[in-house]
C-alpha cells in the first residue's frame, strides 16, 4: 500500500471539498522517553516497535491552511511569517505531503506555519509540524476526524507526529497490520504535575542527516539492531509502571538508558552516525556528575546534539542555576516557556 491509498482508505466517505476558506490548528511537539527507531514500512512510516512520549504542552507548531484561488499555480508556504522557497527541503517535503490532500480538481494551498521550537534540530519539530498540518486540513475540509485517524494521517508525514494529538504521555502502538491501520497514538490518562522537562539547546542548526536516513542506516547495517525490539518492549513496560506510580528515578533511568541505547546503535551502523557534539558530551558528563552528588536528574536525546533534561519541580531552582540557558517545561502545568 502507498500513502495515497492509505489516505483514500482513511478518508472514505468524507468530503473532498473544502468547507471553509481556512483551517487552523496548534499541535504540541513531543519527546520520546522510549524511542521510535526503525521502520517496518518506510512508505507508511510504520515502526518496528511501539514508542512512548511526553507532550511539551505550549511548545509546538501553529499552522493555518488556506485554499488559493483557482488561478494559483503553486503552493505558498510561510514559516514564521517568511516566504519559504518551494525548492527548499522543508517546502518539498511539505508540498509532497499536501499533494495527498489536494484531491480533484487540483488546487494550491497557502500554508502559514509558525513554530516556537527550532526546526530540524532534534527538538521534534516535524512531529508538531505534520500534526498541525493534518489538524488544519481537518478544519479546512470540516471532516471532524477522530484523533486516532488524525494520528494515522500525520504518521504518513512523520512517524513521531502520530503522538502529537494529545497532552501528557502518549503511546504510539506499532501495530502489525500491513496497511498500518492499527498503528496510531493512544493517550495514557495519568497526569504528573511535578514532572519537568528542560530543553538544553546546544546547537539549533538543521541536522546533516535526517532521522529517516539515520534510522534506515541503523536498521540495515547495525548488527546490534536485532537486540533493540526486545529492549524496547522491556523499557516500555517499565516506563508505563513508573508513570502509573510516579516513580521518577525509574522513569529517568529507563528514559536515559533507552536514548543511550539508540545512540549506541547508531555508532554501530556503517558508516557510523554520531549526533552528539563535544558540547553534548560535556553536558552529559555534567549531568552525571551532579547525579553522582545526589541530584535527581536524567536526560534524553533525539536525532540531534541537544539534550532534554528530566527532573522534578522540587529540583527546578537548583537545576536552572546549574543550566542557566535551560528552557523549563511543566508538561502538566501552566506552561509559560516559549523560546
Ligand atoms: O518522526 P521522525 O521520523 O522525525 O523520527 C523521530 C525519531 C526520534 O525523535 C529520534 C525518536 C522519537 O521517537 O521521536
Q: What is the pLDDT of residues 237-264, one digit of tens each?
A: 999 999 999 999 999 999 999 999 999 9
Taking the C-alpha atoms of residue 61 and residue 234, their distance in angstroms, rounded to an integer, is 32
Query: How much of the chain, in percent, has pLDDT values that exceed 70?
Result: 95
CB 29 within 8 Å of CB 161: no
Beta carbon of 36 within 6 Å of any ligand 1 atom: yes
Distance from the CA of 125 to the center of ligand 1, in angstroms? 10
Mean pLDDT of 227-232: 98
Cis before 105? omega within 30: yes
Strand-strand pairing, 46-47 and 39-41: antiparallel
Grid cell at residue 203: 546547537
Q: What is the pLDDT of residues 163-184, one digit of tens each?
A: 999 999 999 999 999 999 999 9
Beta carbon of 159 within 6 Å of any ligand 1 atom: yes
Question: Is it the case that residue 44 has pLDDT exceeding 60?
Answer: yes
The closest residue, in CA terms, to atom 8 on ligand 1 is 302
Model pLDDT, residue 208: 80
8 backbone φψ class: left, alpha, beta (φ>0; ψ -120 to 50) = alpha
Taking the C-alpha atoms of residue 231 and residue 217, their distance in angstroms, rounded to an integer, is 19
Mean pLDDT of 193-222: 91
For 317, the 3-state DSSP assignment is: helix
CB 149 within 8 Å of CB 10: yes
Q: Which atom of ligand 1 is nearest to the CA of 35?
A: 13
Q: What is the pLDDT of residues 53-75, one digit of tens each?
A: 999 998 999 999 999 998 999 99
Q: Which atom of ligand 1 is nearest to the CA of 51?
A: 13
Strand-strand pairing, 46-47 and 82-83: unpaired
CB 259 within 8 Å of CB 122: no
Q: Report the chain's C-alpha Rg in angstroms.
A: 20
Question: Is it the case that residue 156 has pLDDT exceeding 80?
Answer: yes
Beta carbon of 306 within 6 Å of any ligand 1 atom: no
Taking the C-alpha atoms of residue 27 and residue 263, their distance in angstroms, rounded to an integer, is 27
Q: Which residue stretches of 177-311 are H helix?
A: 211-221, 228-245, 248-267, 278-292
Q: What is the pLDDT of residues 260-315, one digit of tens each?
A: 999 999 999 999 999 999 999 999 999 999 999 999 999 999 999 999 999 999 99
What kind and span of H or E run contains 22?
strand 22-34
Taking the C-alpha atoms of residue 255 and residue 170, their distance in angstroms, rounded to an integer, is 14
pTM of the predicted model, to two decimals?
A: 0.95
Task: Give the closest residue to 122 by CA, choosing from 283, 330, 326, 307.
Answer: 307
Amino acid at each position: 500500500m502507498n500513502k495515497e491509498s492509505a489516505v483514500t482508505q482513511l478518508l472514505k466517505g468524507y468530503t473532498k471539498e473544502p468547507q471553509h476558506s481556512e483551517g487552523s490548528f496548534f499541535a504540541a511537539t513531543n519527546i520520546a522517553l522510549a524511542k521510535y527507531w526503525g521502520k517496518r514500512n518506510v512508505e507508511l512510516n510504520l515502526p518496528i516497535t511501539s514508542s512512548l512520549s511526553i507532550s511539551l504542552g505550549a511548545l509546538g507548531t501553529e499552522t493555518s491552511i488556506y485554499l488559493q484561488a483557482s488561478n494559483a499555480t503553486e503552493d505558498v508556504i510561510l514559516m514564521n511569517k517568511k516566504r519559504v522557497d518551494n525548492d527548499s527541503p522543508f517546502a518539498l517535503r511539505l508540498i509532497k505531503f499536501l499533494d495527498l490532500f489536494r484531491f480533484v480538481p487540483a488546487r494550491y494551498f497557502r500554508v502559514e506555519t509558525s513554530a516556537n521550537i527550532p526546526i530540524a534540530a532534534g527538538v521534534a519539530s516535524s512531529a508538531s509540524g505534520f500534526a498541525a498540518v493534518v489538524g488544519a486540513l481537518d478544519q479546512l475540509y470540516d471532516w471532524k476526524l477522530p484523533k486516532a485517524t488524525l494520528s494515522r494521517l500525520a504518521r504518513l508525514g512523520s512517524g513521531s507526529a502520530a503522538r502529537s494529538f494529545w497532552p501528557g504521555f502518549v503511546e504510539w502502538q506499532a501495530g502489525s497490520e500491513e496497511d498500518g491501520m492499527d498503528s496510531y497514538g493512544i493517550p495514557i490518562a495519568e497526569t504528573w504535575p511535578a514532572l519537568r522537562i528542560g530543553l538544553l539547546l546546544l546547537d539549533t542548526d538543521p541536522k546533516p542527516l535526517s532521522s529517516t536516513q539515520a534510522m534506515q542506516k541503523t536498521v540495515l547495517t547495525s548488527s546490534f539492531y536485532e537486540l533493540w525490539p526486545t529492549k524496547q518492549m522491556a523499557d516500555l513496560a517499565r516506563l508505563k509502571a513508573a508513570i502509573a506510580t510516579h516513580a521518577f528515578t525509574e522513569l529517568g533511568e529507563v528514559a536515559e538508558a533507552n536514548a543511550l541505547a539508540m545512540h549506541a546503535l547508531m555508532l554501530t551502523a556503517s558508516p557510523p552516525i554520531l549526533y552528539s557534539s563535544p558540547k553534548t558530551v560535556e553536558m552529559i558528563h555534567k549531568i552525571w556528575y551532579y547525579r553522582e552528588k545526589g541530584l535527581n536528574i536524567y536526560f534524553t536525546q533525539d536525532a540531534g546534539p541537544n539534550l532534554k533534561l528530566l527532573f522534578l519541580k522540587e529540583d527546578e531552582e537548583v537545576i536552572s542555576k546549574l543550566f542557566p540557558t535551560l528552557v523549563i517545561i511543566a508538561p502538566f502545568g501552566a506552561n509559560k516557556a516559549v523560546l
